[in-house]
Structure 1
Amino acid sequence: MLTRVLLTLVKAGVIRPLGPRGLAATASGYLHWNITLAWGYQTGAGRHPERAAIIDDDGVLTYAEVDERTSRLAHAFRAGERIGLLCRNHRGFIETLTACTKIGADAVLLNTGLSQGQLAQVAQDQEIDRFVADREFADLLPDRPVIFTDGLESLVLNGPDKPLPRRPPRGRLIILTSGTTGTPKGARRPEPASLAPAAALLSRIPLKHGDVISITSPLFHAWGLAAFQLGLVLGATLVLRRRFDPEQALRDAEQCTAMFVVPVMLQRMLETPLRPKLRIIASSGSSLPPKVATRTLEEFGPVLYNLYGSTEVSWASIATPEEMIQDPGTAGTPPLGTRLAIVDDAGKPVAPGETGRIFVGNEMLFDGYTNGTSKESLDGLMATGDLGYLRNGLLFVAGRDDEMIVSGGENVYPREVEDLLSQLDGVTEVAVLGVEDEQFGQRLVAYMVGDESLTADQVRDHVKANLARFSVPRDVFFVNELPRNAAGKVLKRQLRENG
């Protein structure tokens, strides 16, 4: 295993010959900060000080500048305090998070789509001491001290140029769950103990040292955060924008080698005429519709990689372009050092092709929710909360285990119906969910965005011709758009409530 990790890191250019300055920065950074964001930027400042680290709406910052600026900013925080970080994709997010690691403060990454009531509840649940926030969210913040990100520059310029404590206490990094089924929970993310987690992703996604990476997915989300952390390991240049605009993202991509997206963003970029040449498009955060995968591969070439994971397990599997060409609905295979099991309700492995509960083991399983609960475990593996099956060695995700419905005594998976309906000509978005039914116990309801000439009967006939009769949605609604959170996930709870 160690040999494979080292070979992967060498192939990606993470491990390579260093000059005296780079070697000294790497060693002293490790001794000072351990393997943290702070170590990453000090290493970068020694190995490639003038390389652009961040390009955003405010300009360019080099690795040397980010290292110095975050050391000055760290003096504005206190070891042990808990910072709620509420901002869009820009340097302020990265600099604040890095400064927290340099002083030993906790950081809670907040979804920019939270309501005022949700923010108040999260602030109480997560015991947030103060916020660092974009000023646009001022009216939503609860009664806590706040530093607005447009004031960070002053803190950096006026911050003292004096040493920070060596090996500060490890601050906690807390990510909120999506909240698609209720109030978001806080998930404690572990600090990587080595570069093995980076090697796991690099074993399936061939990023290289010095890549220029556009991160369109929100940094507060596990996928955007992973892109940032992996980019730092690679000494990459990160391109960030406060707000996602499909044409701007594709114009940025003309200067990039890789792009990290969530599926709904990829879908909207496909609606524009721009087709820059990228070596990698990495997608995650929600299910990737097969039609979107196929069209991306056709129009951008064999550059699409799809990661299946969650806030709690980090990653489970990654599909390569070749695997999605073979079957665009696949979630691929587990990367280096990852174990996967599909089991029945009794915890016994199911046969290939049979649907069961997905359990995953890797080095980045979360440390539990901040409310003291956790995910179910089995022989060192953690439940993803999803159902799936293996076919020809590839993983396929059937959907959430709490979304499976029983209609007339038959198990029905909404994800299967969504994938089928999304392939209809003119359909851009689909959400299928279960509701109570007096006769059958539960029934399916479909919400569709796209071709206005399509009728409910045509939709039902299409499902009837391809799936079992209990998979046919009783009700079909045509809507202008689906409600989504800031990370692009469909809010099925909201659809059900507004039914």
Structure 2
Amino acid sequence: MYPNLLVKRVSLTPNRIALRFNEKAWTFEQLSDEVDEFAEKLYTKGIKFGMRIAILASSDAQLVIAIHGCIQLGCELVMLNERLTEEELRYQLLDSNADYLLVDSVEKRSLTFPNRLSFELLNLVERTTFEVEKEWPKNRTITIMYTSGTTGHPKGVRQSLENHVMNATGSALNLGVQPNDCWLCTVPLFHISGFSILMRSVLYGMTVNLHTKFDAEKAVEEIMSGTVTRMSVVAVTLERMISVLEERNISFPNTFQSMLVGGGPVPLNYLERAIQRNIPVLQTYGMTETASQTTTLSSEDAIRKLGSAGKPLFFADVRINGAEKIGEICIKGPHVTMGYVGAAELKNPLVDGWLHTGDMGYIDEEGYLFVVDRRSDLIISGGENIYPAEVEQALVKHSAVKEAGVVGKQDDKWGQVPVAFIVLKEEVSEEALKAFMKTEMASYKQPVIYYFMEQLPRNASNKLMRRELFKYVQEMK
């Protein structure tokens, strides 16, 4: 059993700042008071322990209160991605067998559901007290989050209390915890990267500065003010912040401790530029099934092991499946999900206790993990393996290239050949890029076609959606 996390935190540090949003701040005690009120209003509307509540809302203070309120009631949270289509959302509601749908605004959300409640409606409801549990079982499901569905229908992943607690504990043992820690959260709370920050907040007694969405200028300003010590980003948002610093010719203050970068391999060009701007980048590797991080590069290794996702956190274990140097990454530990819901419920995520991730990578002689790419994104050309991320890293070295995405195109002679999608900083010809790539990598890895775009397709977590690029290639046949 674990203690009720929010109740325990309030008993320890009631007056410490828990949350800042816009111009308002909440101590842990003030946050708990609003959470209790919200939970009691849910209880009035008939929501009881063990029910499954789907939430569709933007990241703001009210969503934080709603999340904690549902947890205090003993409900399982189905975290819905607000950028999905209605058809995709309906699939997840049906697949998860949600009892209620909770939305931030009826006007904003057209999705209908038999038991739908809005934050506005709950504001009008009377409170009904209930007995709050003082202890929670470790195996209790806290959240259900759906995978991005890159290889078929998304799967609803169960994330238990133990998954969240052990992940946050492993991260704390790696990063350390300071009384003045403040995490700038610009990633969506419906995603594990955002939700895990809320879990760390109550476990560490840490402040969260919450933004509804990422804005490079605002993020830089907040870090420059000296109040923020940590932040989670993906490669593309890191690059946007670096560009702001370069344009202003400024560097981050020493008060900023770490920039955790996940969501896929980070181009070395980005990491080298970050070092020049005093950004302590710690590349991480994790997924929905592991309740966030599995490996993180420690600060003392950030330069020496540039490009690595680090070593496993204290309670995690990682191995490479297969006889070759590069193989499938497999994970074991108390942070790994024990199963799925809905259509995937009968699928056991573990094979002999190990989660087979579908990601490709290698472990060097010192035990550091290097993530190469998704196995499903692998391009096989003339019998040779081409990892799109490797080609993308080479492309963004060119001074005119802001972002790059690479996928395979069917080819009668070679089976597949790589094609590139480019977002530019400044004008450059396809011929110039081809000439540049000849100096960077073997001929079979070089893109045969370049498509220039205003922006690349990305999901709500700013991860590149290669399947959308692949669809574009199919349409161009």
Please, what TM-score do these two structures have when normalized by structure 1? 0.84
Shift of 1:386: 0.7
Structure 1 position 453 matched with structure 2 position 427: yes
- How far apart, CA to CA, are the structure 2 residues paired with 1:61 and 1:226? 19
Superimposed CA distance per residue, residues 346-396 of structure 1 (whole angstroms, 9 cap, x where no aligned partner): xx5x4xxx2111111121111222122546644422112111112342221
Aligned mates of 1:43, 1:366 — CA distance in 2: 25
Question: Structure 2 vs 1, CA of residues 313 and 168 (structure 1 numbering), >3 Å: closer, same or farther?
Answer: closer
| Paired residues of 1:103 and 1:168 also in contact (CA < 8 A) | no
CA contact (8 A) 2:297 2:309 kept: yes
1:307 equivalent in alignment to 2:307: no
Question: How many residues end up aligned between the 2 structures?
Answer: 454
1:428-483 alpha-carbon deviations (Å, 9 max, x no partner): 11111112111211111111111443222333333333323221111111111101
Cross-structure match for 2:241: 269
Give the aligned residue type for 1:164: V
Counterparts of 1:213 and 1:93 in 2: how far apart (Å)?
17
More deviation, 415-424/187-196: 187-196
Match of 1:256 among 224, 228, 232: 228
Structure 1 residue 286: Cα displacement: 3.4
Task: Supply the distance in 2 between the matched residues of 1:137 and 1:239 (Cα, whole angstroms).
Answer: 27
Q: Per the alignment, do residues 497 and 204 of structure 1 end up closer, same or farther by CA in structure 2, a change over 3 Å counting?
A: same
- 1:364 maps to 335
Give the secondary structure class of the aligned counterpart of 1:287: coil
2:128 is matched with 160
Is it true that 1:59 corresponds to 2:24 in the alignment?
A: yes
Q: Does 1:319 align with 2:297?
A: yes
CA distance change for structure 1 residues 164 and 204 in 2, over 3 Å: closer, same or farther? closer
Q: C-alpha displacement at 1:150, in angstroms? A: 4.3
- The answer on whether the counterparts of 1:71 and 1:164 sit within 8 Å (CA) in structure 2 is no
Query: Which of 456, 460, 468 is the matching residue for 1:486?
Result: 460
Kept after mapping to 2: 8 A contact 1:118/1:183 = no
Give 1:468's aligned residue. Answer: 442
Structure 1 segments of 4+ aligned residues over 6 angstroms from their partners: none
What is the CA–CA distance in structure 2 between the aligned matches of 1:390 and 1:171, rounded to whole Å?
32
Cα deviation for residue 137 of structure 1 reads 7.1
Q: Contact 2:418–2:447 (CA<8 Å) still a contact in 1? A: yes
Match of 1:72 among 37, 42, 49: 37
Match for residue 285 of structure 1 among 232, 257, 263? 263
Q: Superposed, which structure 2 residues align to 1:72-471 within 5 Å?
A: 72-75=37-40, 76=42, 77-135=47-105, 138-155=108-125, 158-164=126-132, 167=135, 170-192=140-162, 196-253=166-223, 254=225, 255-272=227-244, 273=248, 275-277=251-253, 278-301=256-279, 303-314=280-291, 315-344=293-322, 348=323, 350=324, 354-370=325-341, 371-374=344-347, 377-393=350-366, 394-471=368-445
SS of residue matched to 2:161:
coil
The structural deviation recorded for 1:149 is 3.1
How far apart, in 2, do the equivalents of 1:452 and 1:250 lie?
23
How far, CA to CA, are the matches of 2:429 and 2:281 in structure 1? 33
Write the distance in 2 (CA, Å) between the matches of 1:463 and 1:321: 32
Specify whether residues 162 and 110 from structure 1 end up closer, same or farther in structure 2 by C-alpha distance, changes over 3 A only. Answer: closer
Q: Is the 8 A contact 2:165 2:199 kept in 1?
A: no
Distance 1:137 1:464 in 2: 53
Greater CA drift, 332-341 or 167-176: 167-176
User: Distance in 2 between the 1:168 and 1:206 partners?
Assistant: 26
Equivalent-residue separation in structure 2 for 1:245 and 1:136 (angstroms): 26
Give 1:4's aligned residue: none
8 Å contact from structure 1 (residues 357, 385) kept in 2: yes
Change (3 A) 1:477 1:323: farther
Q: Is the 2:164–2:199 contact (alpha carbons within 8 Å) kept by the matching residues of 1?
A: no
C-alpha contact 1:214 1:239 (8 A) present in aligned 2? yes
Distance 1:493 1:105 in 2: 34
- How has the CA–CA distance of structure 1 residues 376 and 161 changed in structure 2, closer, same or farther, with 3 Å as cutoff? closer
Shift of 1:110: 1.0
Q: Distance in 2 between matches of 1:167 and 1:376?
A: 28
1:298-348 CA deviation, whole Å, 9 max, x = no partner? 2024x221211111134332123443423432212212122111121xxx5
Whether contact under 8 Å (2:145, 2:288) holds in the other structure is yes
Give the Å deviation of 1:55.
0.8
**For 1:453 and 1:181, how far apart are their aligned partners in 2?**
35
1:21 matched residue in structure 2 = none
Deviation at 1:131?
1.8
Matches of 2:197 and 2:131 in 1, distance apart?
A: 29
Taking a change above 3 Å as real, the CA distance of residues 329 and 152 of structure 1, as seen in their structure-2 partners, is farther
Amino acid at match of 1:309: G
TM-superposed deviation, 1:82: 1.6
Question: How far did residue 175 of structure 1 move?
Answer: 0.8
Q: Distance between the aligned counterparts of 1:136 and 1:252, measured in 2?
A: 32
Aligned AA for 1:363? P
* Shift in alpha-carbon separation, 1:424–1:326, aligned structure 2, 3 A: farther
* Aligned-pair CA distance for 1:198: 2.8
SS in 2 for 1:309: strand
Measure, in 2, the Cα distance between the counterparts of 1:61 and 1:211: 15
Q: For residue 115 of structure 1, report the CA deviation from its aligned partner.
A: 0.9
Shift, 1:216, TM fit? 1.3
Residue 181 of structure 1 and its aligned partner are, at CA, apart by: 4.6
3-state DSSP of counterpart to 1:402: helix
Q: How far does residue 193 in structure 1 lie from its aligned partner after superposition?
A: 7.2
The RMSD of aligned alpha carbons is: 2.4
The aligned amino acid for 1:173 is: T
Unaligned runs of 5+ in 2: none
Q: What CA distance in whole angstroms lies between the structure 2 residues aligned with 1:145 and 1:138?
A: 17
8 Å CA contact 1:428, 1:449 repeated in 2:
yes
Question: What amino acid sits opposite 1:308 in the alignment?
Answer: Y
Query: Aligned partner of 1:281: which letter?
Result: M
Matching residue of 1:9: none
* TM-score, normalised with respect to structure 2: 0.88
Kindly state the Cα deviation for residue 282 of structure 1 after the two structures are TM-superposed: 1.8
Q: Aligned partner of 1:492: which letter?
A: R
Match for residue 26 of structure 1?
none
More strand by share: 2
